[in-house]
Amino acid sequence: MAKKYEGPAIGIDLGTTYSCVAVWQEQTNRAEIIHNDQGNRTTPSFVAFTSDQRLIGDAAKNQTASNPSNTIYDAKRLIGRKYKDIQNDIQLWPFKVIAGDDDNPMILVNYKGEEKRFLAEEISSMVLTKMREIAEKFLESPVKNAVVTVPAYFNDSQRKATKDAGSIAGLNVMRIINEPTAAALAYGLQKRTNCVEERNIFIFDLGGGTFDVSLLTIKDNVFKVKATAGDTHLGGEDFDNRLVNHFVEEFKRKNKVDISAKPGSLRRLRNSCERVKRTLSYAFVTTIEVDAVFQGIDLSSSITRAKFEEINMDLFEKCIDIVKRCFVDSGMDMSSVDDVVLIGGSSRIPKLQQLLQNFFKGKDLYSSINPDEAVAYGAAVQAALLCEGIKNAPNLVLQDVTPLSLGVEVIGELMSIVIPRNTPIPVTMTKGYDTAVDNCSAAKIEVYEGESLKASENNLLGLFNLPTPCASHGHPIKICFSINEDGILNVSAEDENSGNKKDITITNENGRLSREKVERMIQEAENFKAEDTKLEQKVKAMNDLNEYLYHVKKLIADNDVSSLISPVDKLKIYTTVVKGQKLLDGNKHEETHVFVDFLKELQNMVDSALYKITKGV
């Protein structure tokens, strides 16, 4: 593997609900999960906008209930997708999403009293910026390079959009790797001594919003993905939603009030449902209490694990069907699997574990790896591998596969596959085609991704015309598909007679952000950062003043000191303290310098009064 980057480089697991960052540590010879400013090892993928600031992570999630329409989460469920494809999600989100250019979803928020619109890439970039800052604080140095993970089942536009999010965050995304593959790296390093023998491992990765499974073989430190399958829209949030619906119905029955269209009530209920779900992973029954969920009425109820399983059973079974598909694709038998590794927070659900264990005929599941951190751990390992001069970086080689078949539309509206799914990447494959009509001056090439025989039922990645001067029926065209290490596709076509060649610009035609747009967003992100810094400075100035006022109040209250200060100085100081308190209480909109200047003035006043005492003036 060519090493081209300079460290420090980090690994980021950009999750639907939580994100995690890690870095390879030369001293300890392992990847370190980095905790955030709250001391948590994962950070909510939440961004909130208020009347005076932008919040990211825990701070954003903590104020969700009071500001539901301006608290954005689930950007991963929006990224790289079209507005028409997210209609079911929209109904569940308390924030507003509209159709923007090219049918790209735009998130609407109110920030500092103004309406602002964001693409999912921009929201994800804010989360990535936060993860980068967490790492920078820990490493005490700037971080530029990162490996970012995506679900194995992410399609081409979702991968590209994630890469764009990295660019907007000012990161150089060295590589996009698949989440289960990253987890396999973490597993491989934990089982380090056994990496020489061949082992087949099955990764079951069920997170907050996505589900992925991968079958890999590890031999001589080479990690080869054999097959992958998944659903980019299946995860813990779907189980939460089922619980929400259950309690909304129950509330309706008991109180004759429908809260299904009340964003604030729903958000608070959803937060409680997530807690209920987690509790049911170790308890058989639990209670739920949401005070004054609507119009002062409390929601108070209980639910058993059996009921939770019943209302989610079809989703659990869907997971097992996907597991089966992965084995069919790989041509491998499940009995050849050495370890079934559980990854992602939702893999803790006992019923799922039981169904999975049944599928593997009672085999013990491997759960010695932290399901919330393994992906970031693996990403940090990959980041170290890509960097120059990292000491003790593990000696591993990773070979992934493409999750979806890629091809072009041919006569009869059929999909002709050029690269079948689960082909190892990077890969370049070429296929010859003939034009279907006489005297055409250009051949229209439509590139699709997906498994349906009918091209239009798959995902259109882009289209372009290849000039074919006066071509008759049967004119030969060569089409070349090439997928790089990030799983990102490039397509070129060549008219074999004229030598005309054309590359597809899937990137722009499929709504991917143009270079100019990314540049503009980077600028906006910097403006946001500048605003955040400005606010931080103001908060610091207000805190400093507050602390000093407290100190002076104590000083005046202390009779020993106070009796020595002249009555004139004491009155002056006292009046200024009262003014200072008023300034803090009522003038949030004042500029930072107002607080800084006020503090200086008060400090000078107090210093001079104390000086007079020491000098006996």
345 vs 40, 185, 228, 268, CA distance in Å?
15, 18, 19, 21
CB of 221 or CB of 370, closer to ligand AMP: 370
One residue of 372, 400, 409, 495 binding ligand AMP per CB under 6 A: 372
Cβ atoms of residues 225 and 234 within 8 Å: no
CB 18 to ligand AMP: min, Å: 4
Interface residue with ligand AMP, options 116, 278, 363, 529 (CB under 6 A): 278
CB 127 within 8 A of CB 17: no
Rg (alpha carbons) of the chain, rounded to whole number: 29
Part of the chain binding ligand AMP (CB under 6 A), chosen from 28-36, 103-111, 275-283, 463-471:
275-283
Q: Is 92 exposed, middle or buried (0-12, 13-18, 19+ CB in 10 A)?
A: middle
Q: How far apart are CA 491 and CA 317, in angstroms?
A: 37
Burial zone of 311 (CB within 10 Å; 0-12 exposed, 13-18 middle, 19+ buried): middle
Which residues contact residue 239 at a Cβ distance below 8 angstroms, ignoring those fewer than 6 apart? 277, 308, 312, 315, 346, 349
Nearest to 517 by CA among 505, 508, 504, 527: 508
Looking up tokens 């599928």 gives 359
CB of 381 to ligand AMP, least distance (A): 18
* Binder of ligand AMP out of 132, 277, 475, 512 (CB under 6 A): 277
- Concerning whether 76 is annotated as a catalytic residue, the answer is yes
Q: How far is the CB of 13 from ligand AMP (least distance, A)?
A: 8
Asked if residues 364 and 380 have their Cβ atoms less than 8 Å apart, the reply is no
Query: Is 345 a residue that touches ligand AMP (CB under 6 A)?
Result: yes
Tell me the closest approach of the beta carbon of residue 347 to ligand AMP, in angstroms: 8
Task: Give the Cα-Cα-Cα angle 12, 67, 547 (nearest 5 degrees).
Answer: 85
Q: Which of 58, 61, 76, 495 is catalytic?
A: 76
Is residue 274 a contact residue for ligand AMP (CB under 6 A)? yes
Strand pairing of 427-434 and 476-483? antiparallel
Q: Check if 89 is active-site.
A: no
Residue 346 as a binder of ligand AMP (CB under 6 A): the answer is yes
User: Is residue 231 at the binding interface for ligand AMP, with CB under 6 A as the rule?
Assistant: no
Q: Which is nearer to ligand AMP, 15 or 487 (CB)?
A: 15
Q: CB nearer to ligand AMP: give 15 or 94.
A: 15
Give CA–CA dist 614/617, Å, rounded: 8
CB 20 within 8 A of CB 372: yes
Nearer to ligand AMP, 155 or 312 (CB): 312
Contact with ligand AMP (CB under 6 A): which of 94, 344, 407, 487? 344
Q: Check binding of 349 to ligand AMP (CB under 6 A).
A: yes
Closest CB 372 distance from ligand AMP, rounded Å: 5
Stretch touching ligand AMP by CB under 6 A, among 13-21, 76-84, 129-137, 466-474? 13-21
Nearer to ligand AMP, 57 or 344 (CB): 344
* Separation between Cα atoms, residue 432 and residue 496, nearest integer Å: 9
281 counts as binding ligand AMP under rule CB under 6 A? yes
Site for ligand AMP in 170-229 (CB under 6 A): 207-208
Distance CA 564, CA 383 (A): 64
Question: Least separation, in Å, of the C-beta of 312 and ligand AMP?
Answer: 11
CA angle 138, 140, 146 (to 5 degrees): 70
**Size of the residue set binding ligand AMP (CB under 6 A):** 18
Instruction: Answer yes or no whether residue 17 interacts with ligand AMP by CB under 6 A.
Output: yes
The verdict on whether 13 is a catalytic residue reads: yes
Residues 6+ apart with CB under 8 A from 452: 415, 458
Asked if 77 touches ligand AMP (CB under 6 A), the answer is no
Min CB(279)–ligand AMP separation in Å = 8
Q: Is 373 in the site for ligand AMP (CB under 6 A)?
A: no
Closest distance to ligand AMP from the beta carbon of 208 (Å): 4
Choosing from 13, 240, 339, 449, which is the catalytic residue?
13
Specify whether 121 is catalytic: no
- x-or-dash string of contact with ligand AMP, 304-343, rule CB under 6 A: ----------------------------------------
Conformation bin of residue 9: beta by default, left when phi > 0, alpha when psi is -120 to 50:
beta
| SS3 of residue 548 by DSSP | helix
Q: Tell me if 58 contacts ligand AMP by CB under 6 A.
A: no
Q: Which of 156, 179, 449, 486 is catalytic?
A: 179
Q: Which is nearer to ligand AMP, 169 or 349 (CB)?
A: 349
Binding mask 233-272 for ligand AMP (x = CB under 6 A): ---xx-----------------------------------
Nearer to ligand AMP (CB atom), residue 18 or residue 294? 18
Angle of the 350-359 helix axis to the 305-330 helix axis, nearest 10: 40
Strand order in the sheet with 54-56: 54-56, 47-49, 71-72
Which of 128, 232, 183, 246 has its CA nearest to residue 459? Answer: 232
Residue 230 touching ligand AMP (CB under 6 A): no
Can you tell me the distance from the alpha carbon of 420 to that of 379, in angstroms, rounded to the nearest whole number? 26
Q: CB of 597: closest distance to ligand AMP in angstroms?
A: 46
Q: Given the rule CB under 6 A, which residues bind ligand AMP?
A: 15-18, 207-208, 236-237, 274, 277-278, 281, 344-346, 348-349, 372
Active site residues: 13, 76, 179, 205
